[in-house]
Structure formats: C-alpha cells, structure tokens
Chains A and B, each alone.
Chain A
Amino acid sequence: MAWRGAPRAARLLLLPPLRCAAGRRRIASCIDPSAGLTEQQKEFQSVALDFAAKEMAPHMAEWDEKEIFPVDTMRKAAQLGFGGVYVKPDVGGSGLSRLDTSIIFEALSTGCTSTTAYMSIHNMCVWMIDTFGNEEQRRRFCPSLCSMEQFASYCLTEPGSGSDAASLLTSAQRKGDTYVLNGSKAFISGGGDTDVYVVMCRTGGPGPKGISCLVLEKGTPGLSFGKKERKVGWNSQPTRAVIFEDCVVPVSNRLGAEGQGFSIAMKGLNGGRINIASCSLGAAHASVLLAQEHLTVRKQFGEPLANNQYLQFRLAEMATRLVAARLMVRNAARALQEEREDAPVLCSMAKLFATDECFEICNQALQMHGGYGYLKDYAVQQFVRDIRVHQILEGTNEVMRMIVARSLLQG
C-alpha cells in the first residue's frame, strides 16, 4: 500500500485503510487510554502510539507471515529510549517508572503485539542486570542492551520445568573461577538471534535456594540452539531451545550471590507480568477500535450492525472489561514502583485478569467481523493469535491463581 512508505505528514493525504489497526480514531471516549494520566505520561504515550502507528502497524502482518525479527525497527525504538525504559540512566536507560512503562508498552502493542512483547522481555533482562549486577557487569552489558545494539533473552523454562520453575535441572558446576553449564532451556523468546542470555541454573542443592543467575553471550563455546519453533502467534520473534554442553562461563558473569538466582528471576517476572498484561491491553484496545469501525460500516438486514442491540451490548461489555483490566494493570504498576509488600500478588492478579479478559475482548472483536475476521487480510485475527500466549507464559494463569490463593490462605 502506497501510504506505508509515505513521510509522516503525508499521511494527511492518504488515509490508512479501515482494516488496519491504526485506523481513523473516533472522538475520545470512555476507553481513552490517556484518561487520568499526567501531562508527561501523555507525552510518552503519544510518542509510543505515534511510533506504533507509523513504524510498526504497517508491517505487523508481514512480520507475522514472514517470521521477520524486526531488528531495525526495534533499534529505532531503542533510539527513542524504549530499549531500557525502567533501567537507570547512568547505563543508558530512560529511568522511567513501572506505570510509565506499562503505558508505553500498551501503546506500542497497538502497532505490533508480538514485537512489543519481545521488547518487554528484553527490557526485563536489562533491568535484571541493572538491578542485581555489580558495577562492572552493569557497565559491560547495559549500555549496548539499552541501545539494542545487542538483544537479550530470559532463560528460565526447561523441557521438564515450566510452572514448577524451581525444579529446573540445568547445572552450573563451579570449576575454579568458572562455571560449567550443562542442560537445556525451552521456549526461549529471541533464542538463537539474541546476543545476551540471562540464565537461571543450579549451582547448589535442590529447590529455589540452589539456583543462581548467570549472563551468557552468544558465541560462547558449548552454547547452541534448537530449531526455530513454528508458532500460532508471536511470529515476529524467534523461539528456540537453548542448549548448554560443557559451556564454560566466568564467575564474573554471575548476577548477585549464589542461590539468589530464583529470587532475581521472580523479581524480574513481577515487572514482566505487568508488561505482558500491558501488551494484552494494547491488543484489546486496538481490537475494540477495529470492531467499533466494522459495526458502523458493515450492513446486514438493511442496517449497520451498530443498530443491533446485542452487538451494542457486546461492545459495551468489551469496553467495560478493557477499562477494568487497564485499572488492574496500572494499580499493580503503582504498587510495584512504590515497593509495596502486596505488589507481587497484585502483579499476578493483574496478569491473570488482563490477559484473560483481553483475549476474550480480541476474540469477540474477531467474531463481530464475521467471516472477514478469519482472514489474514484483517488485523484482528493477529491480535487474537498474538495475545493467546500471554495467558500461558511469564507464569501460566493457573500459577497466577496459585500465587493469589497462597497469599489469601497462608499470608
């Protein structure tokens, strides 16, 4: 389509096609994501929405179909500060709050949910190094990660340990001033294409207290990758197994103390859960706009679908649940940035609620499109496919329930 390459202001002349997620916006409404934000947060959101509409949305279908990892676009985003949003500025980060971060990822997700989700994983890894690394590690890794000159992957899950993450088996045997790693990780986002791997491995006894966190770089002898997985969605990021065979890593690559790894992993996931939930919010928001547009344009039985009360009520429910989910996510983000004790549980609740609700919203939006919703020419199906996995990773929604129940019954 001609408008994709057009300079930004030229889009005045060429309206985006209605089927595209970044379509014409109606008068600001009840689902406006800028409601209640500060002026500065609105500015952040505005840049992210702009970037999503112009640099991501025109390509999201192609990235999905051709399984392209959009390195150049992500680096462009990193130049604006999206590579280390909540990482400290002294190592190249933007130093923003968790709430600012949630707002930004929600906005970027309207352009391409899969790519934004990868960017959020990358951000989580950089934060872990920034927060738990020593000065030497921070300066060694963070600047090139914040600029996305290098990309990162988070390696926790194994073939034998998903939800039961603490039972992981990848071993790291101490030999002098190195660790020798043996084992494998499964479903690693970016695996094989990324440069820096934050790996949770066993240095001590069984259970969470025997786990440490090591940072590995691609090219290390003994580090190899499985085949690229073929997935239902998240196709703009490669997913591979990461394999360690007598892989030697210097002790100076360990983040924090021996035995601290599981705690580091879980703290990373608190933010990761807010980010993934934020990506779901963006997809759901885009889907509601697409459904809204379709209902006004499509006519059956002599009238626009928008005159049908069932569909009106359905749309109203979708909008209501979107706002509820957004409030849950932003509430958890505030708790986390204030370092409140209830933050981890709130993050789990927000992840559970938002990913489930937003999937339903996107799915309903697809249904409203009728047969067209099933065609890859229409963006709504990609939002459905891309956010389906948000209910599974970063802790399944079942594990989220475990966390909440434990807090209620044992807390």
Chain B
Amino acid sequence: MAPLKVLVGVKRVIDFAVKVRVAPGGQGVQEQGVKHSLNPFCEIALEEAVRLREKGDAAEVVVASVGTRQSQEVLRTALALGADRAVLVEVPPGGPALGPREVAAALSRLVARESPHLVLLGKQAIDDDCNQTGQLLAAALDWAQGTFVSRLALEAGAVRVQRELDGGLETLRLRLPAVLSADLRLNQPRYASLPSIMKAKKKPLELLPLPELLGCPPAPPRLRVLRLEEPPGRQGGQRVENVAALLERLAAAGRI
C-alpha cells in the first residue's frame, strides 16, 4: 500500500490542571501568565499519526495549528513527539477568538496546499468543548468523516474506524481521503524523550499568515461571547424528615 501523508491539527489550550478564572469584564478567562499546553485529544491524534508512520503505513506526519505566534510552543512539542514538519497558520494577537468555523476554513485551505490522504484531529478542545472542527472540515472538503475514533486501521485506499457512541461501538469503513477525530481511548500518548526534544529544534516550522493562506482577508467571526461567569457556588443542603417530604420539596423546586 502506498505510504500516506497525514495532517494532524493541534490546538494550544490552557493546561487541564489549571484553576481557570473568569477575566475582569466577563468576556473571557484569564490567560496571561497561565500555563498552556497541547490539547490532550490533539496529542492522542498526533500519537496515532506517529504510530502509523512508525509502522510504515504513513510516510510523513505534518502537524498544523491555527493561532497566534505563541502556538509555536505546542508545535515544537508536537515535533518532539514525532511529527516531521510543522505549519503555524498565524493570526495576529489581540484579535477575536477563532472558532471551529474559522479553523475548519483555514484547515481546508491547508489541505488543498498539502494534499494529505488523512486528516487527524482531536475530537474537541478542552477550552471550548465545541466538537465541531472535524465535522465542519470534512463537510468543507466533502470527505468521509469518522468522529470519536477509538480504534483505527488502514486498509487499501480506506480506513476502518471504531467509533465510541452513546449507544455503543460502531465500526465504519471510510474511503480515503478522510477526516478523523480522536477520542480518549484511541491510544496512550508517549512522553517526549530528551533526545527527541533536541532533534525537534532542527525540524522545519513554517509560519504562514492566515490571510496569505486564504488568499483574502479572513471573514469576521459570527459568534460573540456576551458573558462568561463562574457557576454558582455550592449551596448548603437541607435535611428532610421522610421520603414524602423529599418528594414535596423536589416538586416545589420544579425538579419533578
């Protein structure tokens, strides 16, 4: 089977372990000076791509991100984890946050430029939890899509995926080229080793401004965050005498 080219999309997000605070103004969260890292589901997607190359099923793993120049950090991490080459589709800092619609549009242009046979993404980012980019990208490209992938096997001209759904596990055979989004149990990502971190410095990382990739100024985002607030604090509980009283209280609160 001819070796494939795989494109992996990754996102720089606030590290999962950070206690996130709403920023003053209520329009976003505090990001300055906060630890960021590679989105965990993106890391899983990347790991799968690198494993395909190590098995000989893929010839090249290209990793890409759409974001400000700070996203270079996660691209370097991705190179240290085994990607061959990186592309940062750069946007200027201080602009409106990019959502799945904008990212999918950018990635579809990048796909036209790179001609991969397979695009691997994380199922969702842990900051906005949208779970849309993979789906929108597949639609934009008119490619087969396999989302929530927990197992992946390449066949001649196709990929067999197992998807984790609420109702159970579904197995699909998708003709290539395809867009897949990785779910938690697809694999356990490796740690970058010290030698691979050093090798990553020499791997190519290309900076590509978004307007240049699109060939025109990017469309303004159609979503605006009106307000962001922390969830209400824990309220005290109440004791009730018996089950009848419990049911009465629940009914009064409109819960049943």
Which of A24, A28, A50 touches B33 (beta carbons < 8 Å)?
A28
- Which 8 pairs show the lowest CB-CB distances between chains A and B? A81-B194, A9-B40, A94-B194, A80-B193, A43-B197, A28-B33, A7-B188, A25-B17
A247 CA to B201 CA, complexed, in Å: 49
Q: What are 13 sample pairs from A and B whose C-beta atoms fall under 8 A apart?
A: A8-B40, A9-B41, A10-B184, A25-B18, A28-B35, A39-B76, A40-B197, A43-B76, A46-B77, A47-B197, A79-B193, A85-B194, A104-B194
A28 CA to B73 CA, complexed, in Å: 17
Which residues on A sit within 8 Å (CB–CB) of B192? 43, 47, 80
Closest partner residue, chain B, to A28 (CB atom): B33
Is the Cβ of B76 less than 8 Å from the Cβ of A7? no
Is the Cβ of A7 less than 8 Å from the Cβ of B197? no
Which of B18, B34, B188 touches A24 (beta carbons < 8 Å)?
B18
Is A66 an interface residue when CB atoms closer than 8 A count as contact? no
Q: What size tier do the contact residues of chain B reach?
A: 20 to 34
Is the Cβ of B15 less than 8 Å from the Cβ of A8? no
A8 CA to B187 CA, complexed, in Å: 10
Is the Cβ of B19 less than 8 Å from the Cβ of A27? yes
Which of A9, A26, A40, A81 touches B44 (beta carbons < 8 Å)?
A9
Is A82 an interface residue when CB atoms closer than 8 A count as contact? yes
Which residues on A sit within 8 Å (CB–CB) of B43? 9
Which residues on B sit within 8 Å (CB–CB) of A82? 194
Is the Cβ of B191 less than 8 Å from the Cβ of A47? yes
A392 CA to B211 CA, complexed, in Å: 62
Identify 12 new A-B residue pairs, CB closer than 8 A, beyond the known A7-B184, A40-B198, A96-B194. A7-B188, A24-B17, A24-B19, A25-B15, A40-B201, A46-B37, A47-B197, A80-B194, A81-B193, A89-B195, A94-B194, A94-B195
Which residues on A sit within 8 Å (CB–CB) of B185? 7
Is B126 an interface residue when CB atoms closer than 8 A count as contact? yes
Is A1 an interface residue when CB atoms closer than 8 A count as contact? no
Which residues on A sit within 8 Å (CB–CB) of B34? 27-28
Q: How many residues belonging to A are interface residues under a CB distance threshold of 8 Å?
A: 29
Give a binary string over B37-53; 1 marks a CB under 8 Å from any A CB, 0 the rest.
10011011000000000
Which residues on A sit within 8 Å (CB–CB) of B33? 27-28
A82 CA to B15 CA, complexed, in Å: 24
Is A44 an interface residue when CB atoms closer than 8 A count as contact? yes
Closest partner residue, chain A, to B20 (CB atom): A27
Is the Cβ of A8 less than 8 Å from the Cβ of B188? yes
Which of B16, B80, B191 touches A51 (beta carbons < 8 Å)?
B191
Which residues on B sit within 8 Å (CB–CB) of A175? none
Is A11 an interface residue when CB atoms closer than 8 A count as contact? yes
Closest partner residue, chain B, to A51 (CB atom): B191
Is B189 an interface residue when CB atoms closer than 8 A count as contact? yes
Is the Cβ of A8 less than 8 Å from the Cβ of B189? yes
Is B21 an interface residue when CB atoms closer than 8 A count as contact? yes
Is B30 an interface residue when CB atoms closer than 8 A count as contact? yes
Which residues on B sit within 8 Å (CB–CB) of A8? 40, 188-189
Closest partner residue, chain A, to B183 (CB atom): A9
Is the Cβ of B19 less than 8 Å from the Cβ of A80? no
Which residues on A sit within 8 Å (CB–CB) of B193? 47, 79-81
Q: How far is the CB of A54 from chain B (nearest CB, A)?
A: 9
Which residues on B sit within 8 Å (CB–CB) of A11? 16
Is the Cβ of B194 less than 8 Å from the Cβ of A50? no
Is A408 an interface residue when CB atoms closer than 8 A count as contact? no
Is A12 an interface residue when CB atoms closer than 8 A count as contact? yes
Closest partner residue, chain A, to B16 (CB atom): A12
Give a binary string over B1-36; 1 marks a CB under 8 Å from any A CB, 0 the rest.
000000000000001111101000000001001110
Which residues on A sit within 8 Å (CB–CB) of B191? 47, 50-51, 80
Q: How far is the CB of B49 from chain A (nearest CB, A)?
A: 16
Interface-central residue, B21, B191, B194, B198, by most chain A CB under 10 Å:
B194
Interface residues of B in 157-189 (CB under 8 A from A): 184-185, 188-189
Closest partner residue, chain A, to B17 (CB atom): A25
Which residues on A sit within 8 Å (CB–CB) of B30? 27
Interface residues of B in 186-212 (CB under 8 A from A): 188-189, 191-195, 197-198, 200-201
A243 CA to B44 CA, complexed, in Å: 50
Interface-central residue, A11, A47, A104, by most chain B CB under 10 Å:
A47
Is the Cβ of A43 less than 8 Å from the Cβ of B77? yes
A82 CA to B197 CA, complexed, in Å: 13
Interface residues of A in 9-45 (CB under 8 A from B): 9-12, 16, 24-28, 39-40, 43-44
Q: How far is the CB of A153 from chain B (nearest CB, A)?
A: 24
Which residues on B sit within 8 Å (CB–CB) of A24? 17-19
A85 CA to B193 CA, complexed, in Å: 11
A26 CA to B20 CA, complexed, in Å: 8
Closest partner residue, chain B, to A55 (CB atom): B191
Which residues on B sit within 8 Å (CB–CB) of A40? 197-198, 201
Is the Cβ of A81 less than 8 Å from the Cβ of B195? yes
Q: A39-B73, A40-B201 are in contact. Are A27 and B41 (CB under 8 A)?
A: no
A104 CA to B34 CA, complexed, in Å: 21
Closest partner residue, chain B, to A34 (CB atom): B35
Is the Cβ of B184 less than 8 Å from the Cβ of A9? yes
Which residues on B sit within 8 Å (CB–CB) of A104? 194
Interface residues of B in 115-150 (CB under 8 A from A): 126
Is the Cβ of B189 less than 8 Å from the Cβ of A9? yes
A39 CA to B197 CA, complexed, in Å: 10
Closest partner residue, chain B, to A29 (CB atom): B33
